[in-house]
Amino acid sequence: MKCRICGNPMKSTVTDLPFKTSERTIVILKQLPVSQCLNCNEYILDDSVMEHVEKLLSKVSESAELEILRYAA
Ligand SMILES: [Zn+2]
């Protein structure tokens, strides 16, 4: 896979990313598998990963201000 920003090769890695799920809720997903550009650090989530992320995020209570979840494949 190549970076859509700069065209350099991307490598698979794991990272922690924050997601804002509502006006006041932030969810941090730990150890998320992504493809990251070696040149500009742009990253892409695979469709299957994104689906799992959406499932995880949908379970988070909207009354929570901060949730930290571990992405488990
Ligand atoms: Zn790039």
CATH number of the domain at 17, please: 3.10.20.860
Is the overall model pTM greater than 0.75, yes or no? yes
Residue 60 forms part of a structural domain:
yes
Give the pLDDT score at 1.
84
Residue 19 forms part of a structural domain:
yes
Q: Which regions of the chain are under pLDDT 50?
A: none
Cα separation, 21 vs 19, in Å, equals 6
Residue 3 forms part of a structural domain:
no
Residue 34 forms part of a structural domain:
yes
Residue 1 forms part of a structural domain:
no
Residue 5 forms part of a structural domain:
no
Query: How many angstroms does the Cα of residue 2 sit away from the middle of ligand 1?
Result: 8
Q: Which tens digits make up the pLDDT trace of 22-33?
A: 999 999 999 999
Query: How many angstroms does the Cα of residue 42 sit away from the middle of ligand 1?
Result: 5
Residue 2 forms part of a structural domain:
no
Number of domains in the chain: 1
Residue-range definition of the domain harbouring residue 51: 10-70
Phi, psi of 67 (to 5 degrees): -125, 140
Token pair of 8 as six digits? 């350099």
